[in-house]
Amino acid sequence: MPDTTIPNTTRTFVLVGHGMVGQRFLESLAARGLTPAAGRARIVVLCEEPRPAYDRVQLTSYFAGRSPEELSLVEPEFMAKHGIELYVGDPAESVDRTARTVTARSGAVFPYDTLVLATGSYPFVPPVPGKDSRGCFVYRTIEDLLAIEEYAKGAETGAVVGGGLLGLEAAGALKGLGLRTHVVEFAPRLMPVQVDEGGGAALLRTIEGMGLTVHTGVGTQEVTADADGAVNGMALSDGSSLATDLVVFSAGVRPRDQLARDCGLAVGERGGIVVDEECRTSDPAVFAIGECALASDGRLYGLVAPGYEMAETVAEVLGGGRAGFTGADMSTKLKLLGVDVASFGDAHGSAEGALDVVYADSRSGVYKKLVIGADGTLLGGVLVGDADDYGTLRPMTGSVLPVSPEQLVLPAGAGGPVTLGPSALPDDAVICSCHNVTKGAICEHTTLPEVKKCTRAGTGCGSCVKVIGQLLPQSQDTGLCGCFAYSRSELYEIVRTLGITSFTALLDSHGREEARGGEGCEVCKPTVGSVIASLAPTVGASGYVLDGEQASLQDTNDHFLANLQRNGSYSVVPRIPGGEITPEKLIVIGEVARDFGLYTKITGGQRIDLFGARVDQLPLIWTRLVDAGFESGHAYGKSLRTVKSCVGQTWCRYGVQDSVRMAIDLELRYRGLRSPHKLKSAVSGCARECAEARGKDFGIIATAGGWNLYVGGNGGATPRHADLLAQDLSDAGLVRLIDRFLMFYIRTAERLERTSAWLERIDGGLEHVRDVVVHDSLGLCDELERLMADHVSGYRDEWAETIDDPERLRRFVSFVNAPDAPDPSVKFVPERDQIKPDLELLAGPVLAVRTLEGTPS
């Protein structure tokens, strides 16, 4: 039993509960010198869990490799430094308000002058039959996650009851554990509190496209179990059922107010300990903070930021200051299953006379809504799929926008976008809502670590880090993004040298301190994914881009190994090296196009594209193509596309070299090579240049003495003629120089940098590149050649591997809960004896200004 003798101090504070809000309260006391170490108070903390406070907001990152220790919010020696007594695994059992004592489970009795209740909330489990069966879990603590992880080892299918924030996180965790995953949500849409009907629809489409089965508008009637009491299924309210081996309840939370009820403190009709603006309960000696408190505005706050404000309020009051908590911003921005979701202000447009401006593109899973008052004031908004503007829009809530709201939601080319940027915000705009830090306070500092240390901004949910970075002097940071202080080329060297095989390992070892343990961002994830893929054979990583963690790093097209088209269908592009194809293979392409009703077109890159395939048809189409000897053309990836060629000396009377053979050899050598940007090449059989080789990233033109190699060319919106790197090369000499050039480019180029831009940016330009890859001035050529040899020997066709693996095929369905049902939004009309997208259906993403009744205006 602990020694409860009161030392010779002024007051005794007892804190019941040691979660995120409880720890923030202790830090706030320490910041004000109200600690035993300062001789001002005795502080006792009773913690129910077997570990000190940890970051519950980032709980799911445990499944991405973050350890419980890394989730801890308590700095080493914090308790000892400040003389705080922490008792883990020993929660408060009762409170005697008359005697002012708290009795712990161990039997220890602690007297108090001030009692602070930070007991948080508990998961709500619907009272359905079978809810206590073996295999039923909640998703609230690290111990819950450890139990789920262990039980999932013997499971194949999991179901999550609840489609809110935590429910979708739990679903992502189950999917990451390899389970076929269902989400059951009683409301008609996902995340009903945060997003509206349109946002929920966009989120649903994206999440179903990731392979999760979603059931909305239905409740759980019963959890069924086998003879041994283990979960084997669920009965739903619509009469349907689903088979599942594991159930996670995430249907909301309830305030933990039983301790307060038992000692006679006032509680709300629907729960929660009633507090005033100082967070004081009906007993002046007792305070309540966080999710257990029913604030003076009559609300229960389930976010950490309001809890932090309550903690600061009580600490200030106990220090003799004046403070009050009258409400808090409920805005949220997070990434669920890789999807950005944000809401702020009056997201549902409840204010009288409010109008909403909506942009919706269900094909790409993007939905944006701004709620505008009659006077032009921004009242709130919902962002799904693209929440980049959240950090600027949220602080503008309550003010008149400087531009029309349409310009803020429309994409480029359709009247937008207009980027306001943080510079448009006033100094009193709150940038970090977790810690209530303003733009003015942030701008007093010069670096992100300094901002975090001095203001705590960016250390909560992390959604403000991007905006903070934009407010700071830009010249001081050349890092890839807010997650990495290194450039892409530097990250390449780190991955290559240390043999790093996963994004998580790279982020945790070389990410910015504040980003470690996180999930990365939309900039670094595909960039690092490409780096690891390009080095896969060398560092021992999986060369298949959809294996494990690699799948979550890929851009949209790579997720389905196909190019997404404007009407939601996909194109199929088999590789046709050098443009050479046999009659038999031509017949196969024709039969596939005929049988699946696809639009066919011969491209400028000398291959045949098949357009109009539904996602569920892709494996069927590729099975036939692979059987006929075709392989992926990688039209969807940042990799080699084609090596175009003329017919060369074999057929042309002007040809001086066999350009077709060389084009085929080069395309087969460099196929699948992941790079900072797409790569194109061409081989011309003579100086007449029919293959247009000087408009390519690397182009080859035949001479009487061999081959001339040109590099850094580019067509498109910013055309650039390629420069001559070397001339009159033998076959072997040509291949050797291309190997070196490509690997040097991949090694040193930045994110999404074409060879043309890279050649103009790199110090020394063409002459430096020539010195490195021709004259070996840096002594790198042997290593560059070895890296390319690793790629060539390790190449595997992605589609051939996909169709042979039932697990990988599961992602290729339009709707995971109806795998055989076609996507009704994919429509075509006839044109020139083929098909084209229904342009009337695609008249564009929906843009409407509506009243709350939904009438267009």
User: Strand (E) positions, 631-739?
Assistant: 640-645, 679-684, 698-703, 706-711, 723-729
Other CB atoms within 10 Å distance of the CB of residue 242? 15
Which residue type occupies 699? G
Residues 608 and 510 in one domain: no
pLDDT one-digit tens code per residue, 758-811: 999 898 899 999 999 999 999 999 999 999 999 999 998 989 999 988 888 877
pTM attached to this predicted model: 0.61
Look at residues 249, 281, 307 and tell me which one is the last residue of a structural domain.
Answer: 249
All residues at 6 or more sequence positions from 677 whose CB lies less than 8 Å from its CB, including other chains? 638, 749, 752, 753, 754, 755
Residues 664 and 792 in one domain: yes
Residues 166 and 195 in one domain: yes
Asked if residue 691 belongs to a domain, the reply is yes
Asked if residue 325 belongs to a domain, the reply is no
The confidence score (pLDDT) of residue 846 equals 46
Query: How far apart, in whole angstroms, are the C-alpha atoms of residue 617 and residue 247?
Result: 32
Q: β-strand 157-161 against 180-185: which pairing, if any?
A: parallel
Asked if residue 848 belongs to a domain, the reply is no
Residues 654 and 722 in one domain: yes
User: Which residue segment(s) compose the domain that 202 sits in?
Assistant: 125-249
Helices (H), ranges, 500-582: 503-510, 524-534, 536-539, 549-553, 556-559
Residues 511 and 579 in one domain: no
**Looking at the chain, how many residues does it have?**
857
pLDDT one-digit tens code per residue, 598-637: 999 998 888 999 999 988 899 999 999 999 999 999 988 8
Query: How far apart, in whole angstroms, are the C-alpha atoms of residue 660 and residue 528?
Result: 35
Asked if residue 850 belongs to a domain, the reply is no
Look at residues 280, 295, 318 and tell me which one is the last residue of a structural domain.
Answer: 318
CB distance 203 to 195 below 8 Å: yes
The confidence score (pLDDT) of residue 336 equals 66
Which residue type occupies 307? G
Phi, psi of 683 (to 5 degrees): -130, 120
All residues at 6 or more sequence positions from 420 whose CB lies less than 8 Å from its CB, including other chains? 389, 392, 393, 396, 402, 403, 408
Residues 811 and 709 in one domain: no
Asked if residue 178 belongs to a domain, the reply is yes
Query: Does the pLDDT at position 845 exceed 50?
Result: no
Average pLDDT, the chain: 86
Asked if residue 438 belongs to a domain, the reply is yes
Residues 165 and 232 in one domain: yes
The confidence score (pLDDT) of residue 839 equals 63
Asked if residue 856 belongs to a domain, the reply is no
* CATH (domain of 352): 3.30.390.30
Query: How far apart, in whole angstroms, are the C-alpha atoms of residue 245 and residue 224?
Result: 10
What residue numbers does the annotated binding site for siroheme cover? 690
Residues 278 and 348 in one domain: no
The confidence score (pLDDT) of residue 363 equals 67
pLDDT one-digit tens code per residue, 406-439: 888 877 545 555 556 676 677 777 788 777 788 8
* CATH (domain of 208): 3.50.50.60
pLDDT one-digit tens code per residue, 556-597: 677 778 887 767 788 899 999 988 899 999 999 999 999 999
pLDDT band, residue 335 (cuts 50/70/90): low
Asked if residue 326 belongs to a domain, the reply is no
Number of domains the chain is built from: 6
Residue 295: both structure tokens together: 């604030």
The confidence score (pLDDT) of residue 414 equals 53
The arithmetic mean of pLDDT across residues 16-34, rounded, is 95
Longest dimension (CA), the chain: 107
CA distances from 742 to 42, 544, 745, 754 (A): 66, 21, 5, 11
Instruction: Determine which helix (DSSP H) or strand (DSSP E) holds 761, and give its type and residue range.
Output: helix 755-761
Residues 131 and 197 in one domain: yes
CB distance 553 to 526 below 8 Å: yes
Compare 327 and 528 and report the one with higher pLDDT: 528
What residue numbers does the annotated binding site cover? 646, 652, 686, 690
**Bridge partner list, 273:** 267, 293
Look at residues 268, 288, 318 and tell me which one is the last residue of a structural domain.
Answer: 318
Residues 721 and 605 in one domain: no
What residue numbers does the annotated binding site for [4Fe-4S] cluster cover? 646, 652, 686, 690
- Would you call 430 helix, strand, or coil by DSSP? strand
Residues 810 and 767 in one domain: no
* CATH (domain of 592): 3.30.70
pLDDT one-digit tens code per residue, 40-85: 899 999 999 999 999 988 888 787 677 888 889 998 889 999 999 9
Compare 236 and 847 and report the one with higher pLDDT: 236
Comparing CA positions, the residue from 473, 527, 536, 474 lying closest to residue 499 is 536
Residues 666 and 777 in one domain: yes
